[in-house]
Amino acid sequence: MRFLITAQDTAGKVTLNRESVPAALKKAEELISDGCWNVEIVTPDGGTYQPGEFDALRERVGAAGPDMSLTA
């Protein structure tokens, strides 16, 4: 599974990918801490989460079970 993390910084747009929700959330939060803006996570099924919705993504993972891939 690929979770895309996009953000904007002074150099331009940044797009990264991670294999799990926890890894995507960690990177997104690091980017915010580094001063990036327009940070969002796009899930493999096309869902888009802004920073204010990261808790909803965490809850969704809890419902998906231990694999944290959102394939359930």
pLDDT at 58 over 70: yes
Whether residue 6 contacts residue 14, with contact meaning beta carbons closer than 8 Å, is answered with yes
From residue 5, alpha-carbon distances to 15, 70 in Å are 6, 16
- Rounded to an integer, the average pLDDT of 32-42 is 97
pLDDT for the residue numbered 61: 79
Cα 60 versus chain centre, distance: 12
pTM for this entry: 0.82
pLDDT at 24 over 90: yes
Whether residue 4 contacts residue 25, with contact meaning beta carbons closer than 8 Å, is answered with no
Exposed/middle/buried for 67, CB within 10 Å: 0-12, 13-18, 19+? exposed
Extents of the domains making up the chain: 3-63
pLDDT for the residue numbered 72: 42
pLDDT for the residue numbered 64: 54
